Amino acid sequence: MASTSQNRSASFWQKYQLYFLLLAAIIIRQIPIVSIPLNWLESYFHEISHGIAALLTGGEIMRIQLFANGAGLCTTRGGLSFIISFFGYAGATFWGWLLFKLANSHQRTAQIVSGFMIVLLLASIIFWARDFLTIIIISSLAVMFVFLIKMRRLYYLQLLLKFFGLSILLNSLFSPTYLFDGRDLGDGAALASMTMVPELVWVLLWCVLAVAALYSLIKTNKNK
């Protein structure tokens, strides 16, 4: 009887795990101090997406800067400006989606993903971090993943990576709306000046991409 009850509880948790993690991510985003590491992580994925877009289109990353308040800046040279500007938010959406998908596939895969993140963060420190604060922030993120990869129970590693993925997706959904500050700065304004397509269109497109990615995860979770 007790075994049946435990199985039902486990089944309920597996079925609704994504929603619980999503709710936790929404709540933690509202807590100032606790949300700081998540803001840094989300900002890092945004900026590294700009950088990767530059590298893939023949440009180079000059420097990556992360700030204490969760903002960031990726300075690039060369490459296709349109692709580079677009892939900040779009790339972060992809990272969040991919992080959840890979972590959800297998516990060992989650361990490999953590190892890859450590390598990527260390490479960012060596090649693109130029100021002390950015080095400290990226180092903190690397240490966080080192602790994750050393977890004895891979289930918790898997769970935290899925939580990170959903947090990044949420940030990709809401952050573009902050561009409506009347200053004509940021990725949306840059794309608007390049294409004559209003900033609102680009913001809506980024939000739609984030919603589509989240819907994809929810649909996959239901099928499982």
Q: Tens digit of pLDDT for each residue in 180-189?
A: 665 667 888 8
> Which pLDDT value is given to residue 223?
66
> Which pLDDT value is given to residue 183?
63
> Which pLDDT value is given to residue 34?
86
Q: Is residue 192 part of a domain?
A: no
Q: What is the DSSP string of 61-92?
A: EEEEEE-TTS-EEEEEESS-HHHHHHHHHHHH
> Which pLDDT value is given to residue 88?
95
Q: Is residue 116 part of a domain?
A: yes
What total number of domains does the chain contain? 1
> Which pLDDT value is given to residue 67?
95
Q: Is residue 44 part of a domain?
A: yes
Spans in the chain with pLDDT lower than 70: 1-10, 13, 179-184, 223-224
Q: Is residue 67 part of a domain?
A: yes
Q: Which domain holds residue 122?
A: 30-171
Q: What is the dihedral of CA 176, 177, 183, 184, to 10 degrees?
A: 50
Q: Is residue 20 part of a domain?
A: no
Give the number of other CB atoms < 10 A from CB of residue 169. 27
Q: Is residue 21 part of a domain?
A: no
What is the average pLDDT score of the chain? 90
Judge if pTM exceeds 0.75.
yes
Q: Is residue 68 part of a domain?
A: yes
Q: Is residue 203 part of a domain?
A: no
> Which pLDDT value is given to residue 220?
84
